[in-house]
Structure 1
Amino acid sequence: MSDNTQTKNAASGSNATRNRRSNKKAASNTGKIIVAVILILLIAVYGGGVYYYSNHFPHNTVINHVKVGEMDTAAAEKAFTDDLASHKISLKEKKRTEVIDANDVGTVINVGSQITDLHDSMNPWLWFTNLFGEKKYTVKLDVTYDEAKLEEVVNNLECFKKENVTAPKSAYIKAGDSQFEIVPEVLGNTVKKKALLQLIGTDLSTGITKIDFEKENLYKLPKYYAKDQAVTDALAKANKYASGTITYDFDYTKETLDYNTSKDWVKISKDFKVTLDESKVGDYIEKLGSKYNTMGSSRPFTTAYGSKINVYGGDYGWKIYFDKEKAQLIEELKSGKDVEREPVYSYKARCRKSAKNDIGNSYVEVSISNQEVWLFVNGECKVNSSVVTGDPTKGHQTYTGVYALTYKQRNATLTGPNAGGGSYSSKVSFWMPFNGGQGLHDATWRSSFGGSIYRGNGSHGCVNCPYSTAAVLYKYVEEGFPVIVY
């Protein structure tokens, strides 16, 4: 290759390099210009936004549910006024939805400076932050309404009409066929009127358009629910108190106390405190006593002569000890256990063959009219003799009735006042009292017995017996032995 050719090639390469450098520089300048233009535009847009939103609410601004974005304060205030003209509050109830119209309750809005104050509190330099979603604000406007009209409108709502209202009712416990059971609560739909009026008033001021009664707890609720601990505990306790069966053994028959009776004795208060009605327990024991007590009652009796008579009075017989039986029965009911026993007695007879026959076939029989005494032991007459009873002409008559022998004593001294004054003191070998100071005893100072001696020369009330008769009596009788006097 010649030198000229080489020179030309070198010059050509140098020009190409210069051209490339020139193109790059031009492109770089163009990019800078574009960036500068964009920055200028952004600054212009941002600055324009700052200027614009200094007098307008930013985009996506919502105040009290009213959209005021891009509005100036005057337009925003008008939007509130226009909104109020159509403001309705939807009342979501259990079975229906009703509506309160702000115009029906004389609502008046005074926007005042609150909208302007809210706008002035906003930073226009941050207007662009509202481009990415709604920003919600709440202001309490100066809203007035006619309270009387509001109450009238509320009173006329369907939810307050008597035929539509079901009152709430707490769960309670009732006696079922075989045990106590829980009756579930009734929630009802009774509205708290005062709370509703207050909430509507607040919502008129804040622009709320919907009130959900259940979410706002506007329904009156029961105090107690079926699953409450107090209720379930009371159920368990009530069933325990009434679950036990008490069987009373009266020898010739039995009396059963079970749930059918005791359920009426279980008291459950409004706050689910469980107790036993002790007065009803007492009434039951009284009835039990009326049915099975024999002390002092009239008894059919067949005399030694075969006559059928009724003997009334005396202290012999069965008698339930009211206080102790009541205390024991209450304790057993609370335990919930089944029990079989005889009642707690304050007095017991010798036997219980039937409701009226508690004497049996071992007893002392005294006939005042015949002036005789008999001793029967297991149906066998051990002794029979004439006696002298109390003198009725001097007010010392021997009292009739069926008595329990109090005790027996050897070699006793009997003392007491005489009818005509003074006192007496008599020594006896066999003393067997049955009615206070009246009793059976030997009377060795007497030479004869029976007949009509007792009228005018009778005892001070005792049954005077021949010594041998008293000795036989003393041998067989014991404390509680029945003595029939007629």
Structure 2
Amino acid sequence: MRYKSTHRWRFIELGLALIFIIYAITTYHFANRNRFLPNTQIGATNVSNKTVNQAATAINRTLSQQKFSLTQNGKTLATFSTQKLGVHLQSTTALAKLMQQQNAWSWPLRFFGNAQADTKTKLAISSDKAALTSIIAEKTTALNKTRQAGSAGKLQIKNDKVTLQNGTAGNQISAAKLTNAVTAALASGDTSLAVTKTVYTTPSTNTQTHQLAKKATAILNERAAYNVGGTHFTIPKQKIASWLVYQNGTLTLNQNLVQAYVTALNHKYRTYGKTKTFKSTLRGTVSVSGGLYGWSFRVADETAALTAQILKGKSFTRQPLVQGTGYNTNKQVIGNTYVEVDKQNQKMFIYVNGKLKLKTNVVTGLPPKQTTTTGVWSVWAKKRNATLKGTELDGTKYATKVSYWMPIDDTGIGIHDASWQPTFGGTWYKTHGSNGCINTPPSVMPKVYKLVALGTPVIVF
């Protein structure tokens, strides 16, 4: 009995020793030859007893042959093969990391069931972007045929108020958003993607229309003011509301209406081409029409500038863009610095800042064909020692030298010294008048030249 018992224990010891040897050798095999443990799964690929490189080859084979599904609410919307996408591992770094994380001593436990590798470690997987984009575009087009498109938000401007009706998102899929989502899923080794609202086509007009509604409200609440020649006024809110246009996702102003408004302002406030009331030195208040002096709106430019200013949605006070001469903000048409030429009395007066600085007799144009043209003009040039050229009534040409020359219109009329005139003032002009210029005594002309600056109004009446 003792012999049999001893023999049995020796047999058990030998068995245990053999098991330990096999365990040790197998553990050494997995630990030192860098192989994955039995029944190890990475994604859908069994990498048992494979090295990192062998596992990468097997995974790439699986990736290139698998099906990818788009699902929603438990239903499969579409599937496609990854064969044409060139799906592959970018590197074996993650596999090497998984290899290092496994416990070689636990290999016997793997025979009792499959073990998924650490799911926290994501494999870096890439694919052919162009091929994927093409496939997703095709699938999206097919899916959207039975899905509801979103509706754009609506912006209305009525009764000086802005109302906003939000658009609806719908459930159509954005090909670009879905492509990005599938790319991320493939990169994580997933074989399916649950479609959610995050890949729906979002009507850009929702956010955009909210922003435009806010801008439209700011425009209607702004104070749009003018200072035209010293006259201050505000554009009525109702007027701006009637100009405001929301169309094709943009906010602008009706240019025809804005230009009509600017044209009306120009007609009301411009001084160019209008009869000017003037308090003369010897004849009281007179009305003088004609002449090039005055200003007007640059209608087209002012229309564009006003539009841009209003669309900023901030209160402002602007002065108009004008052309011509004499614009000021003192409500003055002519101002208090000017030259007065009284043809009836044959006298010229020069006022500077409201004070009479010079008065002199003159000789104006010979009536009736060469009379000095009535109107309000301005000195647009000053020149010393000029030669005046022209044609007499009989057709002969002349070239007359003068020491001082100050043209005032666009036909050659101006103020200059006239040494050939024996006398000035009175009725001399009726028989010995000029060709239209204002002949001034040579002794006085230097003072006139010094007193009168460029742009000074010249009133001839």
Report how many residues are paired: 277
Which residue of structure 1 lines up, in the alignment, with residue 458 of structure 2? 483
The one-letter code of the counterpart of 2:338 is Y
Query: 1:302/1:288 Cα in 2 relative to 1: closer, same or farther (>3 Å)?
Result: same
Structure 2 counterparts to residues 57-206 of structure 1, below 5 A: 172-176=154-158, 179-182=161-164
Shift of 1:230: 5.9
- Give the conservation status (yes or no) of the 8 Å contact 1:387–1:449: yes
- Give the conservation status (yes or no) of the 8 Å contact 1:387–1:466: yes
Which residue of structure 2 lines up, in the alignment, with residue 96 of structure 1? none
Match of 2:341 among 366, 372, 380: 366
Is residue 277 of structure 1 aligned with residue 254 of structure 2?
Answer: yes
Shift of 1:182: 2.7
In the aligned structure 2, how far is the partner of 1:389 from the partner of 1:375?
16
Unaligned 5+ residue runs, structure 2? 1-150, 168-202
Which residue of structure 2 lines up, in the alignment, with residue 262 of structure 1? 240
In the aligned structure 2, how far is the partner of 1:350 from the partner of 1:365?
19
- Give the conservation status (yes or no) of the 8 Å contact 1:364–1:375: yes
Is residue 440 of structure 1 aligned with residue 415 of structure 2?
Answer: yes
- Give the conservation status (yes or no) of the 8 Å contact 2:216–2:313: no
Shift of 1:343: 1.3
Is residue 321 of structure 1 aligned with residue 298 of structure 2?
Answer: yes
Which residue of structure 1 lines up, in the alignment, with residue 404 of structure 2? 430
TM-score (norm 2): 0.54
Shift of 1:349: 1.1
- Give the conservation status (yes or no) of the 8 Å contact 1:242–1:333: no
The one-letter code of the counterpart of 2:301 is K
Shift of 1:425: 0.8
Shift of 1:451: 2.5
The one-letter code of the counterpart of 2:270 is N
Shift of 1:432: 1.0
Shift of 1:184: 7.7
Shift of 1:435: 0.9
Which residue of structure 2 lines up, in the alignment, with residue 467 of structure 1? 442
Shift of 1:251: 5.2
Query: 1:313/1:474 Cα in 2 relative to 1: closer, same or farther (>3 Å)?
Result: same
- Give the conservation status (yes or no) of the 8 Å contact 2:157–2:241: yes
Shift of 1:275: 2.7
Structure 2 counterparts to residues 299-318 of structure 1, below 5 A: 299-318=276-295
Which residue of structure 2 lines up, in the alignment, with residue 416 of structure 1? 390
Match of 1:336 among 304, 307, 313: 313
Match of 1:391 among 366, 388, 402: 366
Determine helix, strand or coil for the equivalent of 2:311. helix
Unaligned 5+ residue runs, structure 1? 1-168, 186-224
The one-letter code of the counterpart of 1:275 is T
The one-letter code of the counterpart of 1:398 is T
Which residue of structure 1 lines up, in the alignment, with residue 170 of structure 2? none
Q: Find the structure with the greater CA-based Rg.
A: 1
In the aligned structure 1, how far is the partner of 2:206 from the partner of 2:375?
61
Which residue of structure 2 lines up, in the alignment, with residue 189 of structure 1? none
Is residue 245 of structure 1 aligned with residue 223 of structure 2?
Answer: yes
TM-score (norm 1): 0.52
In the aligned structure 2, how far is the partner of 1:288 from the partner of 1:178?
22
